[in-house]
Structure 1
Amino acid sequence: MARVLILGGTSEARALAALLVALPGVEPVSSLAGRVADPALPEGDVRIGGFGGATGLQRWLAAQSIAAVVDATHPFAATISRSAAVATSALGLPLLVLSRPGWTERDGDDWRRVPSLTAAAQLLSHDHAPAERVFLTTGRKELAPFASLPQWFLIRSIDPPDEPLPPRHQVLLARGPFAVDGEFALMREYRIDVLVTKDSGGSLTEAKLTAARRLELPVVVVDRPPVPDVPVVETVAAAAEWVASVLGAG
Protein backbone atom coordinates (compact mmCIF):
# COMPACT_ATOMS: atom_id res chain seq x y z
CA MET A 1 0.00 0.00 0.00
CA ALA A 2 1.29 3.46 -0.94
CA ARG A 3 0.56 5.98 1.80
CA VAL A 4 -0.59 9.45 0.74
CA LEU A 5 -0.74 12.36 3.16
CA ILE A 6 -3.67 14.72 2.61
CA LEU A 7 -3.18 18.04 4.38
CA GLY A 8 -6.84 18.70 4.95
CA GLY A 9 -9.53 20.54 6.82
CA THR A 10 -11.54 21.46 3.72
CA SER A 11 -14.51 19.88 1.95
CA GLU A 12 -12.22 19.15 -1.00
CA ALA A 13 -9.82 17.25 1.26
CA ARG A 14 -12.65 15.12 2.63
CA ALA A 15 -13.92 14.37 -0.87
CA LEU A 16 -10.40 13.40 -1.98
CA ALA A 17 -9.97 11.08 0.99
CA ALA A 18 -13.22 9.35 0.07
CA LEU A 19 -11.95 8.76 -3.48
CA LEU A 20 -8.52 7.55 -2.41
CA VAL A 21 -9.91 5.11 0.15
CA ALA A 22 -11.52 3.28 -2.77
CA LEU A 23 -8.38 3.41 -4.95
CA PRO A 24 -6.56 0.05 -4.99
CA GLY A 25 -3.07 0.17 -3.56
CA VAL A 26 -3.48 3.58 -1.91
CA GLU A 27 -3.81 4.36 1.81
CA PRO A 28 -4.77 8.01 2.46
CA VAL A 29 -3.87 9.64 5.76
CA SER A 30 -5.61 12.96 6.43
CA SER A 31 -4.02 15.55 8.70
CA LEU A 32 -6.12 18.22 10.40
CA ALA A 33 -4.60 21.19 12.19
CA GLY A 34 -6.92 20.83 15.18
CA ARG A 35 -8.04 24.46 15.20
CA VAL A 36 -11.75 23.60 14.99
CA ALA A 37 -13.28 22.08 18.11
CA ASP A 38 -15.59 19.64 16.29
CA PRO A 39 -14.16 19.09 12.80
CA ALA A 40 -15.89 17.09 10.08
CA LEU A 41 -13.72 13.98 9.78
CA PRO A 42 -12.76 12.41 6.45
CA GLU A 43 -12.76 8.72 5.60
CA GLY A 44 -9.64 6.72 6.28
CA ASP A 45 -6.87 7.36 8.80
CA VAL A 46 -6.83 10.78 10.47
CA ARG A 47 -4.23 12.59 12.53
CA ILE A 48 -4.92 15.86 14.34
CA GLY A 49 -2.36 18.47 15.34
CA GLY A 50 0.66 20.30 14.02
CA PHE A 51 3.95 18.84 12.82
CA GLY A 52 6.38 21.37 14.27
CA GLY A 53 7.22 23.24 11.11
CA ALA A 54 8.92 22.00 7.97
CA THR A 55 11.54 20.03 9.89
CA GLY A 56 8.94 18.22 11.96
CA LEU A 57 6.87 17.46 8.89
CA GLN A 58 9.93 16.11 7.08
CA ARG A 59 10.67 13.75 9.97
CA TRP A 60 7.05 12.60 10.11
CA LEU A 61 6.86 11.94 6.36
CA ALA A 62 10.01 9.83 6.50
CA ALA A 63 8.93 7.92 9.61
CA GLN A 64 5.49 7.17 8.17
CA SER A 65 6.84 6.07 4.75
CA ILE A 66 4.66 8.60 2.93
CA ALA A 67 4.89 8.27 -0.86
CA ALA A 68 3.16 11.50 -1.92
CA VAL A 69 1.50 14.58 -0.40
CA VAL A 70 -1.59 16.52 -1.44
CA ASP A 71 -1.92 19.96 0.12
CA ALA A 72 -5.70 20.43 0.23
CA THR A 73 -5.68 22.96 3.06
CA HIS A 74 -7.59 26.23 3.13
CA PRO A 75 -6.28 28.72 0.54
CA PHE A 76 -5.08 30.94 3.41
CA ALA A 77 -3.19 28.21 5.29
CA ALA A 78 0.11 29.61 4.00
CA THR A 79 2.34 28.33 6.82
CA ILE A 80 1.61 24.62 6.36
CA SER A 81 1.75 25.03 2.57
CA ARG A 82 5.27 26.45 2.82
CA SER A 83 6.29 23.69 5.23
CA ALA A 84 4.93 21.04 2.87
CA ALA A 85 6.90 22.47 -0.05
CA VAL A 86 10.14 22.52 1.95
CA ALA A 87 9.70 19.07 3.52
CA THR A 88 8.72 17.24 0.33
CA SER A 89 11.53 18.90 -1.62
CA ALA A 90 14.07 17.75 0.95
CA LEU A 91 12.80 14.17 0.70
CA GLY A 92 12.21 14.15 -3.05
CA LEU A 93 8.50 13.39 -2.59
CA PRO A 94 5.84 14.46 -5.11
CA LEU A 95 3.62 17.30 -3.88
CA LEU A 96 0.37 18.60 -5.34
CA VAL A 97 -1.70 21.61 -4.25
CA LEU A 98 -5.47 21.16 -4.52
CA SER A 99 -6.90 24.69 -4.39
CA ARG A 100 -10.49 25.59 -5.23
CA PRO A 101 -10.89 28.54 -7.63
CA GLY A 102 -11.19 31.97 -6.04
CA TRP A 103 -14.30 34.09 -6.37
CA THR A 104 -14.83 36.33 -9.39
CA GLU A 105 -16.38 39.78 -9.27
CA ARG A 106 -19.71 40.00 -11.12
CA ASP A 107 -21.88 42.76 -12.52
CA GLY A 108 -23.31 44.78 -9.66
CA ASP A 109 -20.49 43.95 -7.24
CA ASP A 110 -18.57 46.69 -5.43
CA TRP A 111 -15.36 44.96 -4.37
CA ARG A 112 -12.19 46.48 -2.91
CA ARG A 113 -9.35 43.93 -3.07
CA VAL A 114 -6.60 44.16 -0.47
CA PRO A 115 -3.48 42.03 0.13
CA SER A 116 -3.95 41.31 3.84
CA LEU A 117 -6.19 41.62 6.89
CA THR A 118 -4.05 44.54 8.02
CA ALA A 119 -4.74 46.29 4.73
CA ALA A 120 -8.45 45.56 5.13
CA ALA A 121 -8.46 47.21 8.56
CA GLN A 122 -6.53 50.19 7.20
CA LEU A 123 -9.09 50.57 4.42
CA LEU A 124 -11.92 50.62 6.95
CA SER A 125 -10.14 53.26 9.02
CA HIS A 126 -9.07 55.50 6.14
CA ASP A 127 -12.17 55.35 3.96
CA HIS A 128 -13.54 58.85 3.27
CA ALA A 129 -17.04 57.58 4.09
CA PRO A 130 -16.31 54.95 6.73
CA ALA A 131 -18.84 52.18 7.31
CA GLU A 132 -20.33 52.06 10.79
CA ARG A 133 -21.42 48.40 10.88
CA VAL A 134 -19.08 45.72 9.53
CA PHE A 135 -19.78 42.05 8.82
CA LEU A 136 -16.41 40.34 9.41
CA THR A 137 -16.22 36.80 8.00
CA THR A 138 -12.48 36.17 7.85
CA GLY A 139 -12.35 33.39 10.46
CA ARG A 140 -11.48 33.40 14.14
CA LYS A 141 -7.75 34.10 13.94
CA GLU A 142 -5.64 37.16 13.21
CA LEU A 143 -8.33 39.72 14.04
CA ALA A 144 -5.94 41.99 15.94
CA PRO A 145 -5.74 44.54 13.06
CA PHE A 146 -9.41 45.36 13.68
CA ALA A 147 -9.11 45.64 17.47
CA SER A 148 -8.49 49.40 17.50
CA LEU A 149 -11.25 50.36 15.08
CA PRO A 150 -14.30 52.25 16.36
CA GLN A 151 -16.88 50.56 14.12
CA TRP A 152 -19.37 47.96 15.29
CA PHE A 153 -18.50 44.43 14.06
CA LEU A 154 -20.58 41.32 13.54
CA ILE A 155 -17.91 38.60 13.70
CA ARG A 156 -18.91 35.20 12.34
CA SER A 157 -16.75 32.13 12.85
CA ILE A 158 -17.12 28.42 13.55
CA ASP A 159 -15.44 28.63 16.97
CA PRO A 160 -15.05 31.65 19.30
CA PRO A 161 -12.59 34.17 17.79
CA ASP A 162 -9.18 34.87 19.26
CA GLU A 163 -8.62 38.13 21.13
CA PRO A 164 -7.92 40.99 20.86
CA LEU A 165 -11.26 41.98 19.29
CA PRO A 166 -12.85 45.33 18.46
CA PRO A 167 -14.40 47.00 21.52
CA ARG A 168 -17.82 47.09 19.82
CA HIS A 169 -18.73 43.69 18.44
CA GLN A 170 -21.06 40.72 18.49
CA VAL A 171 -19.91 37.16 17.82
CA LEU A 172 -22.04 34.80 15.74
CA LEU A 173 -20.94 31.16 15.81
CA ALA A 174 -22.07 29.31 12.68
CA ARG A 175 -20.79 26.79 10.15
CA GLY A 176 -21.64 26.88 6.44
CA PRO A 177 -23.08 26.20 3.99
CA PHE A 178 -25.14 29.39 4.08
CA ALA A 179 -28.12 30.24 1.87
CA VAL A 180 -28.56 33.54 0.02
CA ASP A 181 -31.91 34.33 1.64
CA GLY A 182 -30.46 33.75 5.09
CA GLU A 183 -27.43 35.93 4.41
CA PHE A 184 -29.64 38.66 2.96
CA ALA A 185 -31.88 38.62 6.06
CA LEU A 186 -28.88 38.58 8.40
CA MET A 187 -27.27 41.64 6.81
CA ARG A 188 -30.55 43.54 6.88
CA GLU A 189 -31.27 42.56 10.50
CA TYR A 190 -27.87 43.84 11.66
CA ARG A 191 -27.94 46.86 9.32
CA ILE A 192 -24.58 45.92 7.79
CA ASP A 193 -22.75 48.63 5.83
CA VAL A 194 -19.80 46.62 4.52
CA LEU A 195 -18.75 42.97 4.25
CA VAL A 196 -15.13 41.91 4.88
CA THR A 197 -14.10 38.46 3.69
CA LYS A 198 -11.17 36.40 2.50
CA ASP A 199 -11.17 35.12 -1.08
CA SER A 200 -11.77 31.57 0.12
CA GLY A 201 -13.63 30.45 -2.99
CA GLY A 202 -16.09 27.57 -3.12
CA SER A 203 -19.83 27.45 -2.63
CA LEU A 204 -20.13 26.93 1.14
CA THR A 205 -19.85 30.65 1.96
CA GLU A 206 -20.37 32.31 -1.42
CA ALA A 207 -23.99 33.25 -0.61
CA LYS A 208 -22.85 36.28 1.39
CA LEU A 209 -21.41 37.78 -1.80
CA THR A 210 -24.73 37.39 -3.61
CA ALA A 211 -26.57 38.93 -0.67
CA ALA A 212 -24.16 41.88 -0.57
CA ARG A 213 -24.66 42.40 -4.30
CA ARG A 214 -28.44 42.49 -3.86
CA LEU A 215 -28.11 44.96 -1.00
CA GLU A 216 -25.59 47.04 -3.01
CA LEU A 217 -23.06 46.77 -0.19
CA PRO A 218 -19.31 47.22 -0.68
CA VAL A 219 -17.18 44.12 -0.07
CA VAL A 220 -13.56 44.18 1.09
CA VAL A 221 -11.92 41.03 -0.31
CA VAL A 222 -8.58 39.85 1.09
CA ASP A 223 -6.50 38.26 -1.67
CA ARG A 224 -4.94 34.84 -1.25
CA PRO A 225 -1.29 34.39 -0.30
CA PRO A 226 0.97 33.05 -3.09
CA VAL A 227 1.04 29.30 -3.70
CA PRO A 228 4.40 27.47 -3.56
CA ASP A 229 5.96 26.68 -6.94
CA VAL A 230 4.46 23.17 -7.23
CA PRO A 231 1.78 21.58 -9.44
CA VAL A 232 -1.71 22.93 -8.72
CA VAL A 233 -5.15 21.55 -9.62
CA GLU A 234 -8.59 22.98 -8.90
CA THR A 235 -10.76 19.85 -8.68
CA VAL A 236 -10.89 16.76 -6.51
CA ALA A 237 -11.08 14.53 -9.58
CA ALA A 238 -7.87 16.01 -10.96
CA ALA A 239 -6.13 15.48 -7.62
CA ALA A 240 -7.22 11.83 -7.52
CA GLU A 241 -5.94 11.35 -11.07
CA TRP A 242 -2.59 12.88 -10.07
CA VAL A 243 -2.27 10.49 -7.12
CA ALA A 244 -3.05 7.50 -9.31
CA SER A 245 -0.54 8.70 -11.90
CA VAL A 246 2.43 9.38 -9.59
CA LEU A 247 1.88 6.16 -7.64
CA GLY A 248 0.95 3.97 -10.61
CA ALA A 249 -2.20 3.00 -8.73
CA GLY A 250 -5.78 2.23 -9.80
Structure 2
Amino acid sequence: MLKIAVIAGTSEATELIAALPAEDTVTAFAATAYGKEILAGQHCTVHVGRLDTEGFRQALRGMHAVVDASHPFAQEVTKTVRQVCTELQLPYFRLGRQKMTYAYDKLVPVDSKEAAAAYLAGISGNILLTTGGNTLSFYAENVPEFAVRGWARILDTPDSRRLTEPFQAHCIYAKPPFSQADTEKLLREYQIAVLVSKDSGKRGGVAEKIAAAKTMQIPVVLITAPEESVHTIAEVATQLQQYRRNFYGTDLSETHGH
Protein backbone atom coordinates (compact mmCIF):
# COMPACT_ATOMS: atom_id res chain seq x y z
CA MET A 1 0.00 0.00 0.00
CA LEU A 2 2.36 2.72 1.25
CA LYS A 3 6.05 2.96 0.41
CA ILE A 4 7.65 3.85 3.72
CA ALA A 5 11.31 4.69 4.35
CA VAL A 6 12.62 4.04 7.86
CA ILE A 7 15.93 5.61 8.86
CA ALA A 8 17.10 2.84 11.17
CA GLY A 9 19.84 2.30 13.75
CA THR A 10 17.78 1.81 16.91
CA SER A 11 15.62 -0.92 18.42
CA GLU A 12 12.65 1.43 18.01
CA ALA A 13 13.04 1.15 14.23
CA THR A 14 12.62 -2.62 14.48
CA GLU A 15 9.50 -2.25 16.65
CA LEU A 16 7.95 0.27 14.28
CA ILE A 17 8.51 -1.93 11.22
CA ALA A 18 6.92 -4.87 13.07
CA ALA A 19 3.83 -2.72 13.71
CA LEU A 20 3.30 -1.78 10.05
CA PRO A 21 0.83 -3.69 7.81
CA ALA A 22 2.33 -6.42 5.62
CA GLU A 23 0.93 -4.65 2.56
CA ASP A 24 3.25 -1.67 3.09
CA THR A 25 6.57 -1.70 1.25
CA VAL A 26 9.21 -0.76 3.81
CA THR A 27 12.80 0.19 3.02
CA ALA A 28 15.08 0.55 6.04
CA PHE A 29 18.31 2.54 5.83
CA ALA A 30 21.07 1.33 8.16
CA ALA A 31 24.42 3.12 8.29
CA THR A 32 26.32 0.01 9.41
CA ALA A 33 26.27 -3.78 9.18
CA TYR A 34 25.28 -3.87 12.88
CA GLY A 35 22.26 -1.72 12.01
CA LYS A 36 21.28 -4.35 9.43
CA GLU A 37 21.84 -7.15 11.95
CA ILE A 38 19.23 -5.78 14.38
CA LEU A 39 16.70 -5.65 11.53
CA ALA A 40 17.09 -9.36 10.74
CA GLY A 41 13.78 -11.10 10.10
CA GLN A 42 11.83 -7.86 9.67
CA HIS A 43 9.35 -7.21 6.88
CA CYS A 44 11.59 -4.78 4.96
CA THR A 45 14.36 -4.30 2.43
CA VAL A 46 17.56 -3.03 4.07
CA HIS A 47 19.95 -0.54 2.49
CA VAL A 48 23.35 -0.58 4.24
CA GLY A 49 25.76 2.34 4.05
CA ARG A 50 26.00 6.02 4.90
CA LEU A 51 24.24 8.41 2.53
CA ASP A 52 24.85 12.09 1.85
CA THR A 53 22.18 14.60 0.84
CA GLU A 54 22.15 13.52 -2.80
CA GLY A 55 22.11 9.85 -1.77
CA PHE A 56 19.01 10.39 0.37
CA ARG A 57 17.44 12.51 -2.36
CA GLN A 58 17.72 9.60 -4.81
CA ALA A 59 16.73 6.95 -2.25
CA LEU A 60 13.65 8.74 -0.87
CA ARG A 61 12.20 9.89 -4.17
CA GLY A 62 8.97 7.95 -4.77
CA MET A 63 8.35 7.18 -1.08
CA HIS A 64 5.01 8.07 0.53
CA ALA A 65 6.38 8.82 4.00
CA VAL A 66 9.65 8.83 5.96
CA VAL A 67 10.13 7.80 9.59
CA ASP A 68 13.41 8.90 11.17
CA ALA A 69 14.25 6.30 13.81
CA SER A 70 17.96 7.07 13.90
CA HIS A 71 19.81 7.50 17.20
CA PRO A 72 18.85 10.58 19.26
CA PHE A 73 22.40 11.89 18.77
CA ALA A 74 22.58 11.27 15.00
CA GLN A 75 21.97 14.96 14.42
CA GLU A 76 23.58 15.24 10.97
CA VAL A 77 21.49 12.36 9.60
CA THR A 78 18.29 13.87 11.01
CA LYS A 79 19.14 17.30 9.58
CA THR A 80 19.86 15.84 6.11
CA VAL A 81 16.76 13.62 6.00
CA ARG A 82 14.49 16.43 7.21
CA GLN A 83 15.90 18.75 4.52
CA VAL A 84 15.37 16.18 1.74
CA CYS A 85 11.81 15.46 2.93
CA THR A 86 11.03 19.19 2.78
CA GLU A 87 12.43 19.36 -0.77
CA LEU A 88 10.47 16.30 -1.91
CA GLN A 89 7.35 17.31 0.06
CA LEU A 90 7.33 14.01 1.95
CA PRO A 91 5.62 13.50 5.33
CA TYR A 92 8.42 13.27 7.92
CA PHE A 93 8.08 11.71 11.39
CA ARG A 94 10.83 11.79 14.03
CA LEU A 95 10.60 8.78 16.32
CA GLY A 96 11.68 9.79 19.82
CA ARG A 97 12.72 8.21 23.08
CA GLN A 98 11.05 8.60 26.42
CA LYS A 99 12.88 11.18 28.53
CA MET A 100 14.21 9.78 31.79
CA THR A 101 14.93 11.49 35.09
CA TYR A 102 17.73 10.24 37.30
CA ALA A 103 18.17 10.73 41.05
CA TYR A 104 21.90 10.95 41.72
CA ASP A 105 23.71 13.83 43.40
CA LYS A 106 26.92 13.23 41.45
CA LEU A 107 25.25 13.68 38.06
CA VAL A 108 26.90 16.37 35.90
CA PRO A 109 24.56 17.31 33.02
CA VAL A 110 26.22 19.00 30.02
CA ASP A 111 24.86 19.93 26.60
CA SER A 112 27.79 18.96 24.34
CA LYS A 113 30.93 16.86 24.03
CA GLU A 114 32.91 20.11 24.28
CA ALA A 115 31.39 20.85 27.69
CA ALA A 116 32.06 17.25 28.77
CA ALA A 117 35.73 17.56 27.74
CA ALA A 118 36.03 20.86 29.63
CA TYR A 119 34.73 19.21 32.80
CA LEU A 120 37.07 16.22 32.38
CA ALA A 121 40.02 18.58 31.91
CA GLY A 122 39.37 19.99 35.37
CA ILE A 123 39.41 16.72 37.30
CA SER A 124 41.94 13.97 37.88
CA GLY A 125 41.61 10.20 37.73
CA ASN A 126 40.70 7.58 35.16
CA ILE A 127 37.85 8.18 32.71
CA LEU A 128 35.41 5.68 31.17
CA LEU A 129 33.71 6.89 27.98
CA THR A 130 30.50 5.12 26.94
CA THR A 131 29.73 7.63 24.19
CA GLY A 132 30.62 5.57 21.11
CA GLY A 133 33.50 5.41 18.66
CA ASN A 134 32.59 8.49 16.63
CA THR A 135 33.73 10.93 19.31
CA LEU A 136 36.70 9.01 20.71
CA SER A 137 39.27 10.98 18.71
CA PHE A 138 37.74 14.24 19.99
CA TYR A 139 38.22 13.24 23.64
CA ALA A 140 41.71 11.86 22.94
CA GLU A 141 42.69 15.26 21.53
CA ASN A 142 40.88 17.48 24.04
CA VAL A 143 41.20 15.79 27.43
CA PRO A 144 44.58 16.24 29.16
CA GLU A 145 46.53 13.01 29.75
CA PHE A 146 43.91 10.92 27.93
CA ALA A 147 46.69 8.59 26.80
CA VAL A 148 47.29 7.50 30.40
CA ARG A 149 43.84 7.85 32.00
CA GLY A 150 41.25 7.46 29.24
CA TRP A 151 39.24 4.29 28.49
CA ALA A 152 36.28 3.74 26.19
CA ARG A 153 33.70 0.95 26.05
CA ILE A 154 33.05 0.46 22.34
CA LEU A 155 30.50 -1.63 20.44
CA ASP A 156 32.33 -4.71 19.18
CA THR A 157 31.69 -4.58 15.43
CA PRO A 158 34.09 -4.48 12.44
CA ASP A 159 32.99 -0.89 11.71
CA SER A 160 33.69 0.27 15.27
CA ARG A 161 37.04 -1.49 15.38
CA ARG A 162 38.11 0.18 12.12
CA LEU A 163 36.95 3.57 13.34
CA THR A 164 38.77 3.33 16.67
CA GLU A 165 41.90 1.51 15.46
CA PRO A 166 44.29 4.40 16.32
CA PHE A 167 43.04 4.25 19.92
CA GLN A 168 42.54 0.50 20.31
CA ALA A 169 44.87 0.38 23.33
CA HIS A 170 42.25 2.46 25.16
CA CYS A 171 39.20 0.51 23.92
CA ILE A 172 37.20 -2.14 25.73
CA TYR A 173 35.24 -3.85 22.93
CA ALA A 174 31.97 -5.47 23.99
CA LYS A 175 28.42 -6.18 22.82
CA PRO A 176 25.29 -4.83 24.53
CA PRO A 177 23.11 -5.00 26.47
CA PHE A 178 25.22 -4.03 29.48
CA SER A 179 23.88 -4.68 32.98
CA GLN A 180 24.66 -2.65 36.08
CA ALA A 181 26.99 -5.48 37.15
CA ASP A 182 28.85 -5.37 33.80
CA THR A 183 29.54 -1.66 34.21
CA GLU A 184 30.46 -1.98 37.90
CA LYS A 185 33.03 -4.62 36.96
CA LEU A 186 34.64 -2.24 34.45
CA LEU A 187 34.64 0.65 36.91
CA ARG A 188 36.48 -1.50 39.46
CA GLU A 189 38.87 -3.17 37.01
CA TYR A 190 40.04 0.11 35.45
CA GLN A 191 39.83 2.14 38.70
CA ILE A 192 37.50 4.64 37.02
CA ALA A 193 37.00 8.02 38.71
CA VAL A 194 34.38 9.43 36.31
CA LEU A 195 31.97 7.89 33.77
CA VAL A 196 30.79 9.73 30.63
CA SER A 197 27.51 8.85 28.89
CA LYS A 198 25.07 10.28 26.40
CA ASP A 199 21.52 10.61 27.72
CA SER A 200 20.17 8.09 25.21
CA GLY A 201 17.24 7.09 27.41
CA LYS A 202 16.01 3.74 28.66
CA ARG A 203 17.08 1.93 25.46
CA GLY A 204 20.60 3.27 25.86
CA GLY A 205 21.05 1.61 29.26
CA VAL A 206 21.70 4.94 30.98
CA ALA A 207 19.92 3.94 34.21
CA GLU A 208 22.19 0.89 34.57
CA LYS A 209 25.31 3.03 34.06
CA ILE A 210 24.19 5.57 36.65
CA ALA A 211 23.29 2.82 39.14
CA ALA A 212 26.78 1.33 38.72
CA ALA A 213 28.41 4.73 39.22
CA LYS A 214 26.23 5.34 42.28
CA THR A 215 27.43 2.07 43.82
CA MET A 216 31.02 3.22 43.27
CA GLN A 217 30.18 6.82 44.29
CA ILE A 218 31.80 8.37 41.21
CA PRO A 219 30.40 11.24 39.10
CA VAL A 220 28.58 10.71 35.80
CA VAL A 221 28.96 13.31 33.06
CA LEU A 222 25.67 13.08 31.14
CA ILE A 223 25.45 14.67 27.69
CA THR A 224 21.84 15.63 27.06
CA ALA A 225 20.13 14.98 23.72
CA PRO A 226 19.07 18.00 21.65
CA GLU A 227 15.47 19.08 22.18
CA GLU A 228 13.23 18.32 19.21
CA SER A 229 9.64 17.50 18.39
CA VAL A 230 9.30 13.71 18.48
CA HIS A 231 6.63 11.01 18.20
CA THR A 232 6.13 7.63 19.88
CA ILE A 233 5.80 4.41 17.84
CA ALA A 234 2.03 4.43 18.51
CA GLU A 235 1.70 8.04 17.34
CA VAL A 236 3.62 7.37 14.12
CA ALA A 237 1.57 4.22 13.43
CA THR A 238 -1.67 6.18 13.96
CA GLN A 239 -0.59 9.02 11.67
CA LEU A 240 0.48 6.59 8.96
CA GLN A 241 -2.88 4.84 9.31
CA GLN A 242 -4.65 8.18 8.76
CA TYR A 243 -2.41 8.93 5.79
CA ARG A 244 -3.18 5.45 4.38
CA ARG A 245 -6.91 6.07 4.81
CA ASN A 246 -6.69 9.43 3.02
CA PHE A 247 -4.55 7.95 0.26
CA TYR A 248 -6.37 4.67 -0.38
CA GLY A 249 -9.66 4.88 1.48
CA THR A 250 -8.63 2.11 3.91
CA ASP A 251 -6.45 1.88 7.01
CA LEU A 252 -5.56 -1.84 7.07
CA SER A 253 -6.08 -1.61 10.83
CA GLU A 254 -6.68 -5.35 11.13
CA THR A 255 -3.34 -6.33 9.56
CA HIS A 256 -0.49 -6.14 12.06
CA GLY A 257 2.45 -8.06 13.44
CA HIS A 258 5.24 -9.90 11.69
TM-score, normalised to structure 1, is: 0.85
Structure 2 residues without counterparts, runs of 5 or longer: 246-250, 253-258
Aligned length: 235
CA offsets 1:1-20 (integer angstroms, 9 cap, x no match): 21100000100001111222
Matches within 5 A, 1:184-203: 184-203=184-203
Secondary structure of the corresponding residue to residue 67 of structure 2: strand
Residue of structure 2 aligned with 1:154, choices 139, 151, 156: 151
The residue aligned with 1:83 is: 80
In 2: Cα distance, 1:35 partner to 1:194 partner? 31
The residue aligned with 1:119 is: 115
In 2: Cα distance, 1:24 partner to 1:84 partner? 25
In 2: Cα distance, 1:170 partner to 1:52 partner? 31
The residue aligned with 2:255 is: none
Which residue identity is paired with 1:120?
A: A
Structure 2 residue 128 is the aligned partner of structure 1 residue 135: yes
Q: CA deviation at 1:247?
A: 2.2
Secondary structure of the corresponding residue to residue 72 of structure 2: coil
Q: Is the Cα–Cα contact under 8 Å of residues 178 and 204 in structure 1 kept in the other structure? A: no
Secondary structure of the corresponding residue to residue 209 of structure 1: helix
Alpha-carbon spacing, 1:38–1:32, altered in 2? closer, same or farther (3 Å): closer
In 1: Cα distance, 2:10 partner to 2:172 partner? 21
Alpha-carbon spacing, 1:82–1:122, altered in 2? closer, same or farther (3 Å): same
Alpha-carbon spacing, 1:241–1:109, altered in 2? closer, same or farther (3 Å): farther
Secondary structure of the corresponding residue to residue 143 of structure 1: helix
The residue aligned with 2:176 is: 176
Which residue identity is paired with 2:106?
A: D
Alpha-carbon spacing, 1:172–1:39, altered in 2? closer, same or farther (3 Å): farther
Structure 2 residue 15 is the aligned partner of structure 1 residue 12: no
CA offsets 1:182-213 (integer angstroms, 9 cap, x no match): 22222122211000111111244221111112
The sequence identity of aligned pairs, in percent, is 31
Q: Is the Cα–Cα contact under 8 Å of residues 70 and 98 in structure 1 kept in the other structure? A: yes
The residue aligned with 2:224 is: 223
In 2: Cα distance, 1:135 partner to 1:109 partner? 19
CA offsets 1:46-75 (integer angstroms, 9 cap, x no match): 11112322x33123211xx21000000000
Q: Is the Cα–Cα contact under 8 Å of residues 139 and 156 in structure 1 kept in the other structure? A: yes
Q: Is the Cα–Cα contact under 8 Å of residues 51 and 60 in structure 1 kept in the other structure? A: no
Q: Is the Cα–Cα contact under 8 Å of residues 2 and 27 in structure 1 kept in the other structure? A: yes
The residue aligned with 2:57 is: 58
In 1: Cα distance, 2:34 partner to 2:237 partner? 26
Secondary structure of the corresponding residue to residue 114 of structure 2: helix
Q: CA deviation at 1:24?
A: 4.8
Structure 1 residues without counterparts, runs of 5 or longer: none
Supply the RMSD in Å over aligned alpha carbons: 2.2
The residue aligned with 1:68 is: 65
Structure 2 residue 85 is the aligned partner of structure 1 residue 94: no
Secondary structure of the corresponding residue to residue 192 of structure 2: coil
